[in-house]
Each structure stands twice: as C-alpha cells, then as structure tokens.
Amino acid sequence: MLDTAIINKLTDRVLHAQDSATTMTKLTDEHPSMSIEDSYAVQDELRRRWIARGDRCVGLKAGLTSKAKMQQMGVDVPSFGILMASFARPENSAIDTKELVHPRVEAEIAFVMKAELRGDVTIEQVIAATDYIIPAVEVIDSRYEKFKFDLVSVIADNGSSARYVTGGRPRDPREMDLRTIGVVIEKNGEIVALGASAAVLNHPAKAIVMLVKHLAERGESLAAGSYVMTGGITEAIPVSAGDSITARFQDMGSVSFRFI
C-alpha cells in the first residue's frame, strides 16, 4: 500500500488534471507497485476534497461492465467511481468542451435506491431496494493521454467520470424486463451505437450486486437515496463541440443535450 503522503500527492495530480482539463501520464508509470486498493484510496481523498469545496456526493458509478466497453478499453474487470452533484447537467443543456479533454458519451441505466444495501446481495434484493430506474448518459473524459490506461490508473481518475445527464421517464424496475431494454445513441441525428441492457453483466442490476460487494470489502454500504449508474451498454462515442446527442431508451424515453 502506498503511504498517505504519496496518495495525497497523486490526488493533487488527478485533481489538477480534472480541473484544468489537461492530461497526465499513467500513475502506474511512476508507481508500478500501485494497487487497486491505492486507487480507491485516491478516490476517497478526491471525495474528501470535493466535499471540502462544498460539493455533495450523490452516488456511485460502475464502469467497464459491458463487453463492448471492456474490449474498447482493454480492461476486463469492472471499476467503481464516485458521482458528485457538480458533475450533473440538465437535459437539453449545452456542455462546454473547453472544460474537458476528449469527451465520450455512454448510454446507461441509472438506479435510484430507496433502501440501504450491504454485503452479499442478490439481483432480486437490488430490485427490491430500488425506488426507480431512469435513463442516463455519462460523459466520460479520461485524463490519460489518448484515453489509454490500465485498471489501477483509471480507478484513480475516478473511472474517467466527468459529467452525467439524467432524463427521460423514470420506471419501476418491477414492471420491466431489465435485460431487454433497447438503447440507441444518436449523434447529430444519426444512430452511432445500439444495444440492449443485458450487455451490462447480463443484467444491469448485477453491476449493483458487484458494487455493493466492493463497498462491503471496504466496510461501506450503499446508502438509501443513492443514484447509481450501471455502466455503458455500448462502446463510448467520441464527441466534440457542435455535436448533439440523443440517447433513446425503449419504454423509458430519451435524454438529449449538446456540446459547445
């Protein structure tokens, strides 16, 4: 385990890259012995700093949960990250690319929890603890050059998290087949990616089963009221200023916004 002084120094570096929309070299280049545990320690310190700035933690994200994403990024283990209130943008808003390095968009199913989950839970328990599910688009923006990283480095960069937009229609997960929700992403009116929700670990609630297990290993639980993004269903789509994005979710409406 890296010592606290090094974790703090690495957090400075990540925060600087995120705040200034600049790239950094992979943290593992300088610290080849860095572990996944160290990366989650950097996330803890990032959260502490964001809260000290007046931000609020609204939930968590799972990433690298679909084959399309794992293949695109060359990583085969899910990652988890923190979602702060300041990352959220309203539907139909304009997202400023000057604040980002090389953004990409991902269509995801988000869960809003109504009961706490802790330890080893089943998909059925996740669904019972869910208030509603809702369409979401995550804007990821790796702070690593050329969007290239390893699992340890990407976790320390909070899973490339940058912005997210939630919208469409909230649905009761007990009224839907969560494996067969069709999703298309349109960029400037053209379909650029499509898939179905089972792409995420055969069932998007499985991402929450894994998240809760990860939290338990760290002595934490998933709090009631948490907003959780379960991971991109398709590969992520690069975007630039001028692009309009609409993600359409079967029986759940759509989420639209643009980049300036």
Task: Give the bridge partners for 105, in sequence order.
Answer: 139, 237
Q: Which is nearer to ligand OOG, 109 or 252 (CB)?
A: 109
Q: What residues have CB less than 8 Å from 170, skipping those under 6 apart?
A: 112, 132, 133, 134
Whichever of 73 and 178 has its CB closer to ligand OOG, that residue is: 73
Cβ pair 198, 35 in contact under 8 A: no
Rule CB under 6 A: say whether 231 interacts with ligand OOG.
yes
Q: Which of residues 53-72 bind ligand OOG (CB under 6 A)?
A: 63-65, 69
Contact 168, 252 (CB under 8 A): yes
Total residues in contact with ligand OOG, by rule CB under 6 A:
15
By CB under 6 A, name the one of 84, 101, 136, 140 that touches ligand OOG.
140
Question: Of residues 106, 157, 186, 243, which one binds Mg ion by CB under 5 A?
Answer: 106
Q: Which of 160, 141, 154, 144 is nearest to 34 (CA)?
A: 154
Q: Does residue 14 bind ligand OOG (CB under 6 A)?
A: no
3-state secondary structure of 169: coil
Confirm or reject binding of residue 45 to Mg ion (CB under 5 A).
no
235 touches Mg ion by CB under 5 A: no
Q: Kindly state the DSSP code that residue 129 receives in the 8-state scheme.
A: T
Sole residue written with tokens 């979401």: 136
* Contact footprint for ligand OOG (CB under 6 A): 63-65, 69, 73, 106, 108, 138, 140, 142, 154, 159-160, 231-232
